[in-house]
Amino acid sequence: MVSNGMTSTTSGPEFAVAIDRARCDGEAKCFRLCPVRVFSLERPAPDLGWVKRAKVVLHGGRLAVVVNPSACIGCMACVEACPDRAVYVFRSDS
Ligand code: SF4
User: pLDDT tens digits, the chain, 94 residues: what are they?
Assistant: 434 455 555 544 689 999 999 999 999 999 999 999 999 999 998 898 999 999 999 999 999 999 999 999 999 999 999 999 999 999 988 6
Predicted TM-score (pTM) above 0.85? no
Domain of 16 in residue numbering reads as: 6-91
Going by C-alpha positions, the residue among 57, 52, 65 that lies closest to residue 7 is: 65
Q: Which residue from 89, 90, 92 has its CB within 8 A of the most atoms of ligand 1, so it is best to mutate?
A: 89
d(CA 76, CA 5): 22
Amino acid at 66: V
Half-sphere exposure of 66 (CA within 13 A, CB side): 25
List the CATH number of the domain containing 81.
3.30.70.20
CA of 56 to the centre of ligand 1 (A): 22
- Domain membership of residue 32 (yes or no) is yes
Does a structural domain hold residue 65? yes
**Number of domains comprising the chain:** 1
Residue 39 counted as domain residue: yes
Residue 1 domain-assigned (yes or no): no
Cβ(41)–Cβ(66) under 8 Å? no
Report d(CA 86, CA 72) in Å as an integer: 17
